[in-house]
Chains A and B, each alone.
Chain A
Amino acid sequence: MNYLRRFFAKKSTTPKSGLSEKGLLLYHSTGEVIRAESLLKEAGLEVAVKGPPPDLRQGCDMVIEFPLLQEMRVREILAGHNLPPLRVAVAQDHVLEPVSLYHVKEFGDFLMVRAANMKITVDRRDQRIVNVSGGGCPDVPYLAEMLVGKRLHQAVEPRTMGQTLCGYALQLAFEEMIRRCPG
């Protein structure tokens, strides 16, 4: 049996389809692309300027390819220099858009908001963040430890500490929770 398993495992070592790990940053102008590329390279990110697919052209004939899992850090760097991209897309399948709907659940005094794979739960009586769950990237447990126990409106936003798409999803859930629990 082991021989057979090994045989078949070796036969199928070519992936059926490798999915993209790259994202694309789109801007209005070439100048913005170049400035953004410089900023991201200075920050040590592996980025490259590429020609966009025809249907992704939105006024600029260049896009920046970047490691998708570092989207949150990329957005943070660019926002810090007042250079937010016009749009972010997945390199392989540009029709994919980030999750933009929220799932909200009530547990008595507690309110849970989910964005994509991340959930945040608040005690509405004192607006204390009581739990963070979901996700799979290593910044999630770190972000959870930074947030749990803090009052919602006094907590540091996840985007200032997170590094990954899970962290970015938690930021969206955090923002939706603030919208639903105004101070």
Chain B
Amino acid sequence: MSWLIVGTVPRVDFPLTWGKYFSNGRTLAVNGLSVNVVRGTPALMATASVTAEVLGIDPPEVLLAGDTGLGQGSRDLYAYLVDNLDRVSHAGLTFHYLQPDVFWHNKILWGLEERVEPPILAADAGFMYVAKMSGFAAHYDLFTPDAGELAFLADENAPHPFYTRGFLLQEEEQVPELIARAHTGKNAARHLLIKGKKDYVVSGGTVVFEVDAPDVPAMEPIGGTGDSLTGLVTALLASGMDMARACRTAALANRYLGLLADPTPAHGVADLLPFLPRAVELALKKTES
């Protein structure tokens, strides 16, 4: 299945580009442009590419823009995508680090839903925020929040995790309650892959898998380990795997990645990539049964 990753690169000089990309370890190549794998969308892309190779499938395509937070790159990307929706023949899309903008979000979502065969829609980071902010969260197939972001989804009035009320600090212990609130309020996607000390795979508001081992605490402070999880599940879905197994396999593989790499909190996500093929193989074996 073909897949499109939509996100940003933290550079003002990076032009809008759409195409296939190739992973060279700590860098990625797309349409003659080079991108460093540090965190954010490039980390997602690198993980998806390596995982796709293990699975024997083509890597996803990518639509990227440079954006350091002013939002212009994201808005240019949104406008380009809306003008080129007929180019989106992919089975699924993963939206990532993008400046939240309800106007453009809605135009994209409605355009994609007009397709005869609507694609599978996954959202993380800024685009998950705007999907919830828009009131259309339930139109998505997958969100990948951490426990704090789940608290934001569960708070029907919060427009951003910065303003989330009432669930401070103890989110991990409240995950089942927060899942129910987010689902009841239609502020969750049809499926959730919640990352934390324990990962939860949720379908239709019901927890279908819990994954809590192996546990590598040093993964939490490493920037990009949430992006790697989203990259893993993106490639697994692109292979045609069903949603629940893809989420469980991704959660396991990200944990094996930590176990095999044995990082300190000072490691970068690129340091972990050499261990990814083995981590994916172990997770696939574990979820076969």
Contact = CB atoms under 8 A, between A and B. Distances in A.
Interface string B204-222: 0000000000000110111
B163 A98 contact: yes
A130 B163 contact: no
A139 B40 CA distance: 10
Contacts of A140: 40, 69, 97
A96 to B, nearest CB: 5
B227 to A, nearest CB: 9
Interface in B127-150: 127-129, 132-136, 138-139, 146, 148-149
B161 A130 contact: no
Interface in B109-133: 110, 113, 116-118, 124-129, 132-133
B220 A164 contact: no
A130 B220 CA distance: 13
Given A133-B221, A137-B97, A138-B10, A9 B139 contact: yes
Given A116-B164, A139-B69, A121 B102 contact: no
Contacts of B135: 15-19
Given A133-B39, A164-B99, A21 B159 contact: yes
B266 interface: yes
B44 to A, nearest CB: 11
Given A96-B163, A136-B149, 17 more contacts: A9-B118, A12-B139, A18-B102, A21-B100, A21-B159, A68-B160, A69-B99, A92-B157, A101-B168, A107-B217, A110-B264, A133-B223, A133-B225, A136-B129, A138-B69, A138-B73, A161-B69
A19 B159 contact: yes
A62 interface: no
A17 to B, nearest CB: 5
Nearest to B127: A136
A101 B165 CA distance: 11
A133 B73 contact: no
A20 interface: yes
Given A116-B162, A133-B39, A138 B71 contact: yes
Contacts of B186: 16
Among all A-B residue pairs, the 10 with the closest Cβ atoms: A139-B69, A15-B135, A136-B125, A141-B40, A163-B69, A142-B10, A130-B266, A121-B221, A117-B161, A141-B10
B149 to A, nearest CB: 6
Given A103-B169, A140-B97, A18 B134 contact: yes
B152 A117 contact: yes
Contacts of B39: 132-133, 141, 144
A6 interface: yes
Interface band, chain A? 35 or more
Contacts of B61: none
Contacts of A68: 159-160
A110 B139 contact: no
Contact of A144 (B8, B102, B223): B223
A166 interface: yes
Contact of B265 (A110, A136, A168): A110
B226 interface: yes
Nearest to A6: B118
A92 B156 CA distance: 12
Residue of B67, B68, B73, B110 ringed by the most chain A CB atoms within 10 A: B68
Given A136-B129, A138-B74, A162-B69, A6 B113 contact: yes
Nearest to B36: A145
B70 interface: yes
A98 B223 CA distance: 23
Contact of A137 (B69, B152, B221): B69
Contact of B222 (A103, A133, A139): A133
B71 A163 contact: yes
A5 to B, nearest CB: 6
Interface string A124-156: 000000111111111111111100100000000
Contacts of B148: 114, 116-117, 134
Interface string B47-76: 000000000000000000001111101100
Interface string B248-289: 000000000000000011101000000000000000000000
B38 interface: yes
Contacts of A20: 159
